[in-house]
Amino acid sequence: MKTFGTIILAIAMVILACVISFGITSALVYGVCWAFGFTFSWKIALGIWFLMALLRSVFKVVVKKEEN
C-alpha cells in the first residue's frame, strides 16, 4: 500500500502540471490577443485550455515499436 505522503506528492505533481500547462496556454492566448487587438479574457483562456486537454485525451498518439 502506498504511503500517504506518496499519494499527496502525486496529487501535487498533477496539479502543478495542470497549472504550468494553463499558464503557458494563457500566455499564448494573451500574445494572440495582444497581436490582433482583441480583449484578453481568462474565460477564453480557460476554454481554450480545456478544449486542448479534451482533444489531447480523445486523439492520443500511440507509437508502437516493431520487433525484428
Residue identified by cell 481554450 is: 48
The pLDDT score that the predictor gives to residue 57 is 85
d(CA 11, CA 34): 34
Cell numbers of 40, please? 484578453
Q: Where are the domains of the chain?
A: 4-58
pTM over 0.95: no
DSSP result, 3-48? -HHHHHHHHHHHHHHHHHHHHHHHHHHHHHHHHHTPPP-HHHHHHH
The pLDDT score that the predictor gives to residue 64 is 79
The pLDDT score that the predictor gives to residue 49 is 94
pLDDT (tens place) for every residue of the chain, 68 residues total: 579 889 999 999 999 999 999 999 999 999 999 999 999 999 999 999 999 989 988 887 777 787 76
d(CA 10, CA 14): 6
